[in-house]
Every structure is written in structure tokens, then in C-alpha cells.
Amino acid sequence: MFIARPAGAKGIGLFATQLIPAGTRLLAEKPLFTVASESEAYAASRRLGSHDRKTFLGLVGGDARERSKRLWVEAGWHTVKEVVRDVANVIGKRNGAITWPRAPSYLNARSIFLSNNFALSTSPSMRAIFPNISRLNHACVPNTEANWNANLDHFTVHTLSPVPEGEELTLSYLESHGAVTADRQEALRGFMFECGCAACAMGTPAARRGELSRADLQIKVREFAQSDGSKGELSIMQSMLRMYEQEGIRGRELATMYIATAKMAHSTGALEDARALAKRGLQLEETCCGSDSPFFAKSLADVEKLQLGDLDGGTASVFDTTDLPQVAAAA
Ligand SMILES: [Zn+2]
């Protein structure tokens, strides 16, 4: 379904070798190892069995790619500010000491770790290295999402939209997707690279439209914060959802927003809207996590509490998104 191959300045990336439908489970992986800090990475890599160690060393490291990544496992994202120390600093501290074992191997292990680790939002202080998930590069509008599945005891990666053959599989290292380009680039500076994804390529009409749309979203968020009537809040939420849909942003962030908005609509008696919103929220949740995920089960239970009846029987509403322009996921 996909292969690992060079992805230009980003090092190695994963690419679709066929059209992959939305909601496909691409990967289910456990970390090769988890550590509390990068200083433990070398020792952890030495403890790996020969097969896993070979996998680890097969990941590409390099000064130009030093960064940390994140996996989003829930809507309330934890932010862990990653401070990547200078390699020379570490060498300076250790140089001359008798405990300088296999220096090239140490540097190699450290470089691979820095280029490929994820901060886990299940336990924000921990960093993990994965055999394949670590190879996924960033895009501001990604076509995959990684989530922890406690039932499987694995991280899963699902496609969020159909991915054409030859397109790179990407996930987002950012904690939310509504930020304008300058703010996203600022946040990504912590990962030591500049994003060149389609949403950041300001020369294109789609990127310019997305930028205006995100700026509008910022205004909506402020309106929402100042709003005191539930009717007003509902319409603000609805236009935020529409913006996400139009920009091709999918995943748990949006699923969670849909379910929350369904609850809002339900509380104002707009049951037809509540039904459509809940249905779309569950759809998105299943796409990004799978129906065997506890996240899906939780959202389903939340929706069932609203007693909206048969969701399949709902009529078309403003949230029937089939008429919305589908924006190609950023490569
Ligand atoms: Zn970008």
C-alpha cells in the first residue's frame, strides 16, 4: 500500500503505491522504545534486540532534520515544548571522559532519535521511536492521523481522506489546525524546519483562500469566547465546522467539534441539525480511529445519550458536506 523513499529535504517519507481510501488503517505499531529524555536514547537503542536495532538504525537521522514530533491521541492536546540542544554541547560535556563509548555510534543513535522521536500525549514527558510512524513527515493539512488505541495497545495510523497513488503520507505535528501560516511556521520552528506543504505555499489560490478562511476562523473563535447566547454559539460553531471541511482538515479535532456542536444543537431543540452533526462526528471519528477504538466508543456513547434516534434516517441538512469543494490534502 505504501513504500518508504527519499522525500527531498525532509529525508525519508512514506508514499502511497496505490489509491488508498479514507479511513484505511495503514499502521498499528508499538514504539521500539520510549524514554523520558533524549539522553536516555542511546542506552535504550543499545538494549534493542538485533532486529529492532536494525530497524532503528534504518531510520534516517541528520542535523538538518533535528526535531521532535507529536502524536495526537485526544482533542485536549498537551503541548510539550521541545528544546533541541546543540550536539556540540553534549560532545563538549562528555569529551575527554573515559565514558566515551563508540562515539560515532552514539552520535548516530542520537541523531536518529532527534530526527524521529514523538512526544506522546498519553504521557507527555515520554518520547517514543516507532518503526514506521516515525517516517511520516509533517503537513499542515495532513492526510493521515495517528491515535492511541487502548483496546489494541498500539498506535494506529489512518488515512483521513483518499490518498492518490504516488502522494506522500503525512501527519501534522501541530496541536491545532486553524492557525494562519505565520503562526504555524512559528510553531514549527521548534521542530527546526520550515513547512513547504500546499497550505503553506502562498503562491497558490487554494492556499490564499485557506489563509483568509483561517483568519476568519480566528475572528469566529474570538466571537465565540465573547458570546453569551447559545443560539449565537451554535451558528459560530457551524461556520467553524464549515471552514474545516472546506480546507480539507479532518481527524479527531474536527470529530470532537462536531460532537460538541451536536450537543449544543440538541440543547436548543434543533434536533435535525443535532442528528446531522452527530452523524458526521461519528463518521470522522471512525475514519481516523476505527470502530474498535475506545475514542469511537466514547463518542458513540455521548451521541446515544442525546437520544436522537436512527442517524442513518436523517434528511440532508446544511451539514451534508457532499456539496463542499474537496481540497486536496497537502503533500
Ligand atoms: Zn504547512
Separation of CA 274 and ligand 1 centre (Å): 33
Find the 294 Cα to ligand 1 centroid distance in Å.
30
Interval between CA 198 and ligand 1 midpoint (Å): 6
- For residue 329, tell me if it sits in a domain: no
How far, in Å, is the centroid of ligand 1 from the Cα of 81?
19
Residue 160: name the closest of 263, 84, 250 by CA. Answer: 250
| Domain-located, residue 257 | yes
Residue where a domain terminates, one of 143, 172, 191: 191
**pTM (2 decimals)?**
0.76
82 and 178 share one domain: yes
Whether residue 328 lies inside any domain: the answer is no
| Residues 91 and 140 grouped into a single domain | yes
Using the mean position of ligand 1's atoms as its centre, give its distance from the Cα of residue 181 in Å: 7
Q: What is the pLDDT of residue 137?
A: 87
pLDDT for the residue numbered 22: 96
Task: Give me ligand 1 centre to Cα 298, in Å.
Answer: 31
Q: Number of folded domains in the chain?
A: 2
CA 273 to ligand 1 center in whole angstroms:
33
Phi-psi region of 121 (alpha: psi -120 to 50; beta: other; left: phi over 0): alpha
Give pLDDT, residue 96.
36
Three-state DSSP at 265 gives helix
Q: Are strands 144-149 and 154-159 parallel, antiparallel or unpaired?
A: antiparallel
DSSP string, 202-234: TTSHHHHHHHHHHHHHHHHHHHHHH---HHHHH
- Residue 331 domain flag: no
Please give the grid coordinates belonging to residue 313. 434516517
- Clarify whether residues 13 and 60 are in a common domain: yes
330, part of any domain: no
Render 18-77 in DSSP notation, one character per residue.
S-B-TT-EEEEE--SEEESSGGGHHHHHHHS-HHHHHHHHHS---GGG---EEE--SSSP
Give the domain extent around 137: 2-191
Question: Is 164 within the bounds of a domain?
Answer: yes
Could you tell me the distance, in angstroms and rounded to a whole number, from the CA of residue 100 to the centre of ligand 1? 40
What's the gap in Å between 194 CA and the centre of ligand 1? 8
Length of the chain: 331
Instruction: Indicate the residue type of 306.
Output: L
- In terms of domains, do 138 and 80 share one? yes
* 175 in the same domain as 116: yes
Q: Is residue 74 part of a domain?
A: yes
pLDDT along the chain (331 residues), means of 10: 86 92 95 87 86 83 45 27 27 33 58 78 77 87 90 92 96 78 80 78 86 84 71 82 89 91 92 93 95 94 90 51 41 35
| 171 CA distance to ligand 1 middle (Å) | 11
**What's the gap in Å between 127 CA and the centre of ligand 1?**
23
Q: How far is the CA of 42 from the centre of ligand 1 (A)?
A: 31
